[in-house]
Chains A and B, each alone.
Chain A
Amino acid sequence: MAKEDNGSLTAKLARWRAWVQAAFLLVWLTPTVRIHTVCSPVFHCYSCPLATFACPIGVLANFSALHLIPLMAIGTLLVVGVVFGSFVCGWACPFGFLQDLVGRIPTPKFELPGWMGYFRYVVLVVFVLIIPYILGEDSPLFFCRLCPAGALEAAIPNTVESALAGGELALPSKVKMVILALFLLAMFVKWRPWCTLFCPLGAIYGLLSHVSVFFLRFKPESCTDCELCRDLCRYGGRSERRASDQRCIRCMECTTCKAISVDNVFLPSDEVNPSSTLGMQNCFFGSFLGRKWGASALLFSWLLEKPPIFGRERSETRCSGKICV
Chain B
Amino acid sequence: MWKLLRRTIAPAILFLGGISMLVYGGRFHVTPVVEERVEEITLKLPNLLWLSVIEDYGGIGVLGEDGMPDPDSALAADYPPEFETVTRTSEVTRHESEPALIREVTFGGVTLKESGDIWRTYVGEAPSLCPT
Which of the candidate stretches B6-14, B41-49, B60-68, B69-77 sits at the interface with the other chain?
A: B6-14
Task: For B31, list chain A residues within 8 Å (CB).
Answer: 68
Give Cα distance in the complex from A83 to B116, angstroms: 37
Q: Which one of A47, A66, A75, A212 contacts B11 once the chains associate, using CB atoms below 8 Å?
A: A212
Contact A137 B106 (CB under 8 A): no
Whether, in the assembled complex, A148 has its beta carbon less than 8 Å from a beta carbon of chain B, the answer is: no
From B99, B108, B111, B131, contact of A37 by CB (8 A): B99
* Contact in complex: A82, B7 (CB < 8 Å): no
- Asked if B19 CB lies within 8 Å of chain A CBs, one says yes
Say which one of B21-29, B50-58, B78-86, B87-95 lies at the interface with A.
B21-29
Q: A71-B24, A144-B130 are in contact. Are A76 and B8 (CB under 8 A)?
A: no
Measured CB to CB, the nearest residue on chain B to A71 is: B25
A247 located at the interface, meaning its Cβ lies under 8 Å from any Cβ of chain B in the complex = no
Asked whether, in the complex, the Cβ of B7 is within 8 Å of the Cβ of A59, the reply is no
Enumerate chain B residues within 8 angstroms of A58, measured Cβ to Cβ.
105-106
B residues near A199, Cβ cutoff 8 Å: none
The complex places the Cα of A211 from the Cα of B16 at a distance, in Å, of 13
Task: Name the one of A68, A77, A137 contacting B108, with C-beta atoms under 8 angstroms.
Answer: A137
Residues from chain B with a CB closer than 8 A to the CB of A74 are: 18, 21
Q: Does A21 touch B at the CB level, under 8 Å?
A: no
What's the interface size class on B, roughly? Answer: 35 or more
- A97 CB to closest chain B CB (Å) equals 22
- Cα separation A145 to B132 with both chains bound (whole Å): 5
Instruction: Pick the residue among B11, B111, B116 that contacts A213 (CB under 8 A).
Output: B11
Known A-B contacts A137-B132, A144-B132, A266-B4; the reply to A71 vs B22 at CB < 8 A is: yes
Cα of A73 to Cα of B24 in the assembled complex, Å: 12
Indicate whether B38 reaches chain A with its CB closer than 8 angstroms.
no
| Assembled-state Cα–Cα distance A276/B21 (Å) | 40
Q: Quick check: is A67 within 8 A (CB to CB) of the other chain? A: yes
> What is the minimal beta-carbon distance from B23 to any residue of chain A, in angstroms?
8
Check B112–A67 contact: CB distance below 8 A.
yes
The residues of A that contact B3 with a CB separation of less than 8 Å are 268-269, 290
Residues of B with C-beta under 8 A to A39: 102
Say yes or no: is B118 at the interface (Cβ < 8 Å to chain A).
yes
Over the window 1-43 of chain A, the binary record of Cβ atoms lying under 8 Å from chain B Cβ atoms (1 yes, 0 no) is 0000000000000000000000000000000000011110000
Give how many A residues have a beta carbon under 8 Å from the other chain's beta carbons.
48
A 46-59 to B, binary, CB cutoff 8 A, 1 in contact else 0:
11000000100011
In the assembled complex, B123 has its CB within 8 A of some CB on chain A: no
B102 A291 Cβ-Cβ under 8 A: no
> Is there an interface contact between A170 and B129, defined as CB atoms closer than 8 Å?
yes
Q: Any chain B CB within 8 A of the CB of A246?
A: no
Q: Which residue of B lies closest to A162 (CB)?
A: B129
Q: B residues within 8 A CB of A290?
A: 3, 6-7
Q: Does A244 contact B (CB under 8 A)?
A: no
CA distance A46 to B100 in the complex (A): 14
Beyond A137-B132, A145-B132, is A37–B18 a contact (Cβ under 8 Å)?
A: no
Per the bound structure, the CA–CA distance linking A240 and B9 in Å amounts to 27
Q: Which residues of B contact A288 (CB under 8 A)?
A: 6, 10
Chain B CB within 8 A of A233 CB = no
Is A136 in contact with B132, judged by CB distance below 8 angstroms?
no
Question: Cβ of A38 and Cβ of B102 under 8 Å apart?
Answer: yes
Contact among B22, B106, B108, B129 with A72 in the assembled complex (CB-CB below 8 Å): B22
CB pair B100 A289 closer than 8 Å: no
Tell me whether A211 and B10 are in contact (CB under 8 A): yes
Q: List 21 A-B contacts (CB under 8 A).
A: A36-B102, A46-B130, A58-B105, A63-B101, A71-B21, A75-B20, A75-B21, A76-B22, A78-B18, A79-B15, A82-B14, A82-B18, A137-B111, A137-B132, A144-B130, A145-B132, A158-B129, A265-B7, A266-B7, A288-B10, A289-B6
- Interfacial residues, chain B to chain A (CB-CB below 8 A): 3-4, 6-11, 14-15, 17-26, 29, 31, 98-103, 105-108, 110-112, 116, 118, 129-132
Q: Which 8 A-B pairs have the closest CB atoms?
A: A78-B18, A71-B25, A75-B21, A37-B99, A75-B22, A62-B105, A79-B18, A72-B25
